[in-house]
Amino acid sequence: MLFFLKLKRLKHVLHGLNSKRSSNLSNTIKEKRIELEEVQFVVLSSVPTREILKKEQVVQNELRNLLAVEESFLQQKSRVLWVQEGDQNFHFFHSMVAIKQNRQAIHAITNDQGQYLDGIDQISEEVIKFFQQLLGFVMSLLWGVRSPS
């Protein structure tokens, strides 16, 4: 019970820290973008020196790193939301899994002649034909693989 109370108190502290850091990250990115715009304005308005070009490159790299950190933060946050929604709503969770599987499926392909093939039979025949040409094997030599005919 004592451990539970400690965790409960820690939750509020961590939540506050998370809110402070994520809002600070957004402000830092905004400031870095403004700084980059200012440096680029100087580069475009006068003859650029090596120092100014170097500073532009440094600021661009810093902004790129901040954007990567923000993207990672948002991905982690979305995973947490996904788990919470998935645990609370069984139907929602499974519909999201079905949508993801549907997105990863092959719905249509284009063959060598540029024809659009969208039927399951057409796609399977084309895939088999492609790999026969690629590998040079006869289908009957491959164990467990049936010929499309």
Distance CA 56, CA 64 (A): 12
Tokens at 131, concatenated:
């790999």
- Please, what's the b/e burial string for 23-37 (b: 16 or more CB within 10 A of its CB; e: otherwise)? eeeeeebeebeeebe
Tokens at 139, concatenated:
């289908």
**Would 99 be classed as within a structural domain?**
no
Do 35 and 65 fall into the same domain?
yes
Distances (CA, A) of 146 to 108, 138, 141, 142: 22, 11, 10, 8
Distance CA 24, CA 99 (A): 34
Tokens at 114, concatenated:
């540029």
**Residue 40 structural domain:** 11-88
Coil, helix or strand for 112? coil
Do 130 and 61 fall into the same domain?
no
Do 63 and 25 fall into the same domain?
yes
pLDDT beyond 60 at 87: no
Do 31 and 82 fall into the same domain?
yes
Residue 95 confidence class, pLDDT cut points 50, 70, 90: confident
**Would 60 be classed as within a structural domain?**
yes
Nearest of 76, 66, 62 to residue 18 by alpha carbon: 76
The pLDDT of residue 61: 94
Is pTM beyond 0.95? Reply is no
